[in-house]
């Protein structure tokens, strides 16, 4: 999808390009925001990236950004730039549904810290994006409000759980988006839509106001079409927050400076480790070939490339699907029909237990129920040590694998996902096949490291995007941006321009 195909001019520009035009006075935030609202109106009935569009609120925020800039008080480098917000972060002026009937129509009484920081930076929030219910899924097919479609092929999934955010970027409905990543929900959608997605170090971005799925794994992060745009957004939302007990009280890594450094120079002196366990059988050949080409390109940029073994990564998937459902079982107990949200069967004749049961039956979808049951079983008397306890021990071994690997290399790389985007409906009846989409992304969540997905080309089998995953040690997120930006420049030079400009033009809409 070229700039012309994406509506001409403004909606085809990156966030940093829009920010430069705003600073130069070449365009107003109101004009930029209206262009993106028009784009949403033109294509979103087919893409379904958004659950709620707040045109009035977005234009009001844009006018304020323009007024602030006119008085010399622009709040941040991204002031006046539009953004799409995943519907799992609370907003006082828009519903927060988490893609679930359980919270249909609920408007929270407070903003998430991420939401507040965006507003304080003058970023214009266009609306809330679709997602797998309570962030549980890899395809955005589990939303109670219908699936989101991949702009590269409207018959395919845009990834999950944050498929709405990634699709909004790929469809040029927004230049920036926010996602959350519990087991890959930023990176996997980024990979299959040809966009950039970053999971910051756990604790690097506040979880206050993020409706919890798995509290020890959830992490908000930036989604964008370029590495620099992601870095600019990362700096806006990151930093210590006393409202989040797991927030890290350290300076934010210099991610914007690292992105600019990487784009300006090569990777001489950088050691890159290719994870041995993430290749071979089970990986789509076109994905493997695109990844191998990306690794060669890293070497051409001056990086020293070595193979690294992380033997316990093979156990990450089963460990995750005990830890995450266990925490989900506990966190979702709050949706009890008593305090807020949906209430079913309260006709004065039923007990509180009956109302609770009827409400949870009606309000939760099949995948959420599946994970609640798995987690409740894993935490039950007699099984806690055998399942949840053992999974946490595996988590420790995976963290040790990362520690040992980063004693040898600066970053690790792998494919982001084993396959390109699959067709809508293809895996809905096969949970294990669905879960395998997160095979490569889960270890970084279990260890808490930062990780990025960046497009590394198109599969030669189906012409769909492939993602390169870059992983760095905790609180060394700047390494992701340096390596990612250097690779991005080399990739675009070798492949004839930015991959995002090849998204089909959605001629059917």
Residues marked active site are found at 86, 161, 185
User: φ, ψ for residue 91 (rounded to 5)?
Assistant: -140, 130
HSE-up of residue 385 (Cα within 13 Å, Cβ side)? 1
Q: How many CB atoms lie within 10 A of CB 23?
A: 13
- Contact at 8 Å (CB) between 217 and 323? yes
Chain centre distance of CA 155: 21
- DSSP symbols for 223-266: EESSHHHHHHHHHHHBS--TT-TT---SPPP-HHHHHHHHHHS-
**Under 8 Å CB-to-CB from 304, ≥6 apart: which residues?**
270, 271, 272
Beta-strand pair 465-472/450-458: antiparallel
Alpha-carbon distance of 446 to 463, in angstroms, equals 32
Sheet strands side by side (includes 220-224): 50-53, 124-129, 82-86, 176-180, 220-224, 196-199, 450-458, 465-472, 411-415, 271-275, 304-308
- Contact at 8 Å (CB) between 307 and 273? yes
Alpha-carbon distance of 81 to 86, in angstroms, equals 17
Strand partners, 119: none
Beta-strand pair 196-199/271-275: unpaired
Beta-strand pair 196-199/220-224: antiparallel
- Please give the sequence-ordered ranges of beta strands (E in DSSP) within 146-300, or none if there are none: 176-180, 196-199, 220-224, 271-275
């Amino acid at each position: 999808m070229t700039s012309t195909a994406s509506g001409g001019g403004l909606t085809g520009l990156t966030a940093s390009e829009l920010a430069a035009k705003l600073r130069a006075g070449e365009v107003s935030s109101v004009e930029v925001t209206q262009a993106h609202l028009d784009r949403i109106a033109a294509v979103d009935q087919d893409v379904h990236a958004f659950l709620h569009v707040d045109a009035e609120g977005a234009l009001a925020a844009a006018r304020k950004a323009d007024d602030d800039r006119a008085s010399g008080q622009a709040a941040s480098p991204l002031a006046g730039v539009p953004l799409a917000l995943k519907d799992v972060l609370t907003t006082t002026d828009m519903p927060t549904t988490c893609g679930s009937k359980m919270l249909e129509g609920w408007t929270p009484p407070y903003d998430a810290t991420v939401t507040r920081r965006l507003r304080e930076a003058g970023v214009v929030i266009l609306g809330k994006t679709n997602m797998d219910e309570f962030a549980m899924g890899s395809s955005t097919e589990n939303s109670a409000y219908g699936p989101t479609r991949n702009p590269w092929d409207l018959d395919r999934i845009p990834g999950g759980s944050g498929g709405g955010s990634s699709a909004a970027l790929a469809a040029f409905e927004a230049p920036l988006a926010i996602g959350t990543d519990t087991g890959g929900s930023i990176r996997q959608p980024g990979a299959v839509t040809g966009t950039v997605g970053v999971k910051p170090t756990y604790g690097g971005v506040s979880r206050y106001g993020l409706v919890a799925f798995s509290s020890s794994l959830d992490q908000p992060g930036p989604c964008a079409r370029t590495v620099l745009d992601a870095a600019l957004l990362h700096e806006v939302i990151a930093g210590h927050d006393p409202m989040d007990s797991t927030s890290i009280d350290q300076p934010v890594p210099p991610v914007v400076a690292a992105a600019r450094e990487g784009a300006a120079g090569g990777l001489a002196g950088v050691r890159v480790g290719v994870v041995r366990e993430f290749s071979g059988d089970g990986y789509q050949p076109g994905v493997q070939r695109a990844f191998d080409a990306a690794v060669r390109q890293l070497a051409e940029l001056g990086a020293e490339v070595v193979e690294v073994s992380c033997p316990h990564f093979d156990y990450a998937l089963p460990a995750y699907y005990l830890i995450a459902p266990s925490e989900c079982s506990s966190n979702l107990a709050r949706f009890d029909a008593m305090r807020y949200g949906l209430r079913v069967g309260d006709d004065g004749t039923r007990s509180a237990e009956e109302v609770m049961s009827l409400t949870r039956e009606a309000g939760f979808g099949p995948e959420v129920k599946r994970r609640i049951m798995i987690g409740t079983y894993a935490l039950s008397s007699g099984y806690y040590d055998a399942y949840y306890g053992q999974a946490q021990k595996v988590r420790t071994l995976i963290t040790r694998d990362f520690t040992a690997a980063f004693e040898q290399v600066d970053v690790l790389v792998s494919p982001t996902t084993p396959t390109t985007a699959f067709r809508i409906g293809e895996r809905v009846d096969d949970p294990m096949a669905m879960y395998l989409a997160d095979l490569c992304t889960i270890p970084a969540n279990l260890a808490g490291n930062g990780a990025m997905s960046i497009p590394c080309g198109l599969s030669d089998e189906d012409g769909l995007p492939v993602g390169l995953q870059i992983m760095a040690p905790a609180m060394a997120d700047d390494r992701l941006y340096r390596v990612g930006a250097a690779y991005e420049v080399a990739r675009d030079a070798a492949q004839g321009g930015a991959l995002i400009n090849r998204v089909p033009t959605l001629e059917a809409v």
